[in-house]
Structure 1
Amino acid sequence: MKDVVPDVLPRNGYDGKGPETAAELIEDIKSGTRRSTMAVKITPYILSLIDWADPLRDPLARQFIPLGSRIRPDHPKLSLDSLNETGDSPVKGVIHRYPDRAVFLASSVCPVYCRNCTRSYSVGADTEEVSKTRFLPIQKRWEAMFDYIERTPALRDILVSGGDLYTLSPDQIRMIGMRLLGIPHIERIRIASKGLAICPSRFIDPDDDWAGAVIDLSHRGRKLGKGVALHTHFNHPNEITWVTRLAAQRLFEEGVTVRNQTVLLNGVNNDVDTMKSLIAQLSSLNVQPYYVFQCDMVRGIEDMRTPLQEILALEAAIRGSIAGFMTPNFVVNLPGGGGKRLACSKESYDRSTGLSTFLSPISKDPSRTWEYWDPLPSHPEVGE
């Protein structure tokens, strides 16, 4: 690191407390790693895109590298499994929250580990803070999951996620996809992978068949009249390079539907210019900007969450300035398992306390109020 990071770190525009030298940065990273809920894992591609001359303000470094100086006390209302996914799992590895949709957790391993991971309760290696509930990519476990899907005819749509499908072999991708496409009542499958954002070269490598497996499933789905899509995860325009463009072009030429899900993150993309640039660049790649998520209320990331007001303001500034079919939905995934709701559909929002409330159509009690709380740094009196 000493060869790429300046001895004295730039501080212009950086208003947080933190390291001032390269040596202090290394110690801060060590401290953050010990206190993080996520193990640290980054691809060489992402490492090469980080601006190491200004690491404190770099939006990619902020997503993957924890600094102890930035970690804030958790909000008293948040939890490790913020969305109560374990409570909506009739079979280990299947999350069945919505009547017609379910998540198939194929693995709990990713090629990178994001600090803000919703599934920090399961994804990645154990840390000093969390012992993980792992989902190993083994056939025996998958069979129980397939069995549940096969005997639940209300299901129409399966999101194959994890972890990240990028860590599975092409044969495993084909097997899972073909098995799901062969179930009569399953009409759509979605393959979740951040691969296009964190290692796009695999999509254009003639010796790597991962993209070929996704393309094959897409073609097979079309012949069956069923939808197959790749759902990926870009958070900042700096993640898009010439390699990304070549990879996205290959998928577009092959007719693969690609959608993106962005998470709104403090210091990464929570300003209008950055978000508009990201949406515009994704659109140019023929990647549909599908969702912008309010960051989930999970442990250890209060410095990364934003007040609800910011996502409301972003949508107000962006909607109408971009073609409607390329404008993402700005949503909150309700803590406790209430499902996704448009941020603007809030029932109430008290900005003085940071509490917003929502109703959910999938709730067993339609009158139940679901709560989302702004991060403590914006409302320190709540923690007191």
Structure 2
Amino acid sequence: MSIPAIEKHKITAEEKRIIALRRAAELKNRISDYLEIKESIKTGIDLQDTVAKNKLKLLKYFNASEEQWQDWRWQMRHRIDSVTTLAKFLDLDIEHFFHIKKVGSHYRWSISPYYASLIMDGDPHDPIRMQSIPSIEEMDESGYNDPMAEEFTSPSPGITRRYPDRLIINVTNMCAMYCRHCQRRRNIGEKDQHKPHQSLLAALDYIRKNREIRDVLITGGDALMLSDRNIDWLLTELDQIEHVEIKRIGTRAIVTLPQRITPELCAVLKKHPPLYINTQFNHPREITPESKKACDMLTEAGVVLGNQAVLLKGINNNAHVMKRLNQELLKIRVRPYYIFHAKQVKGTRHFITSVEEGINIMEKLRGYTSGLAVPTYIINAPNGYGKTPVLPQYVIKREEGSIRLRTWEDRELEYDYMPGF
């Protein structure tokens, strides 16, 4: 019985309770499929015993101490970028060994020891492995080097501008790990390089001269690969530009190198509010005690955290996996912000899903979990024309003063938004 129908009748308190209990049972049944499978979708916290064994194997190989493991600079110096070294930790058959070697001659790869410790050996479809270790499928030449036309939206050195009031400063090509689905793999090259100081000065000068710019995103590569001193300098320069209202930092270090989040870095970031950091967790397995600690430290420093997942075939193109990811992110105080449809980057075709899969995931999030756990599904328009939200269709029909709605439960209802009282 609908609410308007109820209002036309005298309903006793007991009858109302019966209606409420019936509705509660109906709602509980709607998430029974997720509850049945939830515990099988493991987080990195759930698998700490196995991760600890992997870590010990890596420490022994590098003859390293726990203190060194916790040093982000040690992690960077000991990134794994040789298939021979990788074979010391993972059971690679001869075919996979030479596939990795072949892909490595075309596309750079590198994994922090920390992120390597999260790989569950023996599973070729492990979501950590798929994001970090080259696959022969990367030799597929379809796609584009620069699908977002960033080279045509750079009005000044180091800047990408696609919107009226905000822009990107690209500060480095350096990352703790070179993700196999990277949208900017064309910039990785064979050598880690920060942008020259002159390029940063030119970018700052451009921002000063364009007063409509109120929001600046510092990214790369990974913006947190800069030293604390350089991060402090750049944020200070932006603070001194009156029309810049907020700063953002793009980083995956929270996920791939949480040791980078140090008390010293947090002290720097705390000086420059309002500051937002967007990171990229793509699977619940990436949520570990270390990444949680990093998020806690950043939150306590006043940084607002958001997540920009990438929809990746075989990794998270599953509504239950995405729901678990987003719910676990909220527990570590990271707000799910976007789900990006994977871009048509050369060498990444094997990760690309259908748009229908993305819409179906959104259908299974809205109403089935807290709105806080529902990001926006985004397709980046070709040729640098920006982010375009893609949503399930909830408005079925429009008329003067009313619309026909489809609810999250797939019910169709008339809604008179200009009722005659």
What is the TM-score with the length of structure 1 in the denominator? Answer: 0.76
1:23 aligns with 2:94: yes
Distance 1:196 1:28 in 2: 29
Describe the SS at the equivalent of 1:177.
helix
CA distance in 2, matches of 1:2, 1:172: 37
Give yes or no for the alignment of 1:322 onto 2:369. yes
Q: TM-score, normalised by structure 2?
A: 0.70
1:113-132 alignment runs, 5 A limit? 113-125=178-190
Q: CA deviation at 1:26?
A: 1.0
User: Any idea what SS the aligned residue of 1:71 has?
Assistant: helix
Give the drift of 1:194: 0.7
Structure 2 residue aligned with 1:177, among 235, 250, 275?
235
Query: What secondary structure, in the 3-state scheme, does the structure 2 residue paired with 1:344 have?
Result: coil
* Residue number in structure 2 paired with 1:215: 270
Amino acid at match of 1:175: W
Q: Distance in 1 between matches of 2:307 and 2:98?
A: 35
Distance 1:342 1:65, change over 3 A: same
Q: Quick one: distance in 1 between partners of 2:156 and 2:237?
A: 18
Aligned to 2:360: 313
Alpha-carbon displacement from aligned partner over 1:205-264 (angstroms, at most 9, x marks no partner) = 45xx223322332xxx2xxxxx21111111111111111222212222232201111101
Q: Distance in 2 between matches of 1:136 and 1:2?
A: 31
Alignment of 1:228-307 (within 5 A): 228-307=275-354
Alpha-carbon distance, 1:122 to partner: 1.5
Cα-Cα RMSD: 1.9
* Cα distance in 2, alignment partners of residues 164 and 343 from structure 1: 27
Contact 2:359 2:392 in 1 (8 A): no
Structure 2 counterpart of 1:73: 140
Distance 2:253 2:217 in 1: 16
Q: Give the secondary structure class of the aligned counterpart of 1:46.
A: helix
5+ residue gaps, structure 1: 7-20, 127-133, 222-226, 347-384
Give CA-to-partner distance per residue, 1:4-39, whole Å, 9 cap, x none: 444xxxxxxxxxxxxxx6222211211222343xx1
CA contact (8 A) 2:362 2:392 kept: no
**Cα contact 1:94–1:104 (8 A) shared by 2:** yes
Q: Distance in 2 between matches of 1:244 and 1:300?
A: 29
| Partner Cα distance (2:237, 2:392) in 1 | 37
Among 190, 201, 204, the residue aligned to 1:143: 201
Give CA deviations for 1:167-189 in whole Å, capped at 9, x if unaligned.
10001001111111110111111
Q: Residues of 2 paired with 1:326 and 1:153: CA distance?
A: 34
What is the aligned counterpart of 2:129 among 38, 58, 61? Answer: 61
185-194 or 113-122: bigger deviation: 113-122
Shift in alpha-carbon separation, 1:5–1:104, aligned structure 2, 3 A: closer
Residue 40 of structure 1 and its aligned partner are, at CA, apart by 0.4
**Alpha carbons of 1:119 and 1:2: their partners in 2 closer, same or farther (altered >3 Å)?**
closer
Question: Aligned letter for 2:299?
Answer: F
Give, in whole Å, the separation in 1 of the partners of 2:189 and 2:324.
31
Question: Is the 2:329–2:336 Cα contact (8 Å) retained in structure 1?
Answer: yes
Aligned residues of 2:148 and 2:380 also touching (Cα < 8 A):
yes
The answer on whether the counterparts of 1:202 and 1:211 sit within 8 Å (CA) in structure 2 is no
Matches of 1:237 and 1:261 in 2, distance apart? 14
Give the SS at the match of 1:104: strand
Residue type of the alignment partner of 1:103: I
How far off is 1:44 after superposition?
0.6
Matches of 1:322 and 1:83, distance apart in 2: 32
Name stretches of at least 5 consecutive residues in structure 2 with no aligned partner.
Answer: 1-85, 394-421
Number of aligned residue pairs: give it: 308
1:312 deviation in Å?
0.8
Distance 1:95 1:74 in 2: 26
Q: Which letter does structure 1 place at the counterpart of 2:188?
A: V
Note the C-alpha offset of 1:74: 4.1
Distance 1:97 1:81 in 2: 14
Output aligned runs, 1:158-177, within 5 Å: 158-177=216-235
Distance 2:88 2:226 in 1: 35
Whichever residue aligns with residue 268 of structure 2, its letter is: A
Asked if the contact 2:161–2:167 (Cα under 8 Å) also holds between the matched residues in 1, the reply is yes
**1:157 partnered with 2:226:** no
**CA distance 1:194–1:254, change in 2 (3 Å):** same
Bigger helix share = 2
What is the SS of the residue equivalent to 1:92? Answer: coil
Which residue of structure 1 aligns with residue 159 of structure 2?
A: 94
Letter of the 1:113 counterpart: Y
- Answer yes or no: is the 8 Å Cα contact 1:31–1:67 preserved in 2: no
Q: Per the alignment, in what secondary structure is the counterpart of residue 384 of structure 2?
A: coil
Superposed CA deviations along residues 19-66 of structure 1, whole A, max 9, x for unmatched, are xx6222211211222343xx1011111100011222x11111111211
SS of residue paired to 1:49: coil
Q: Percent identity?
A: 31
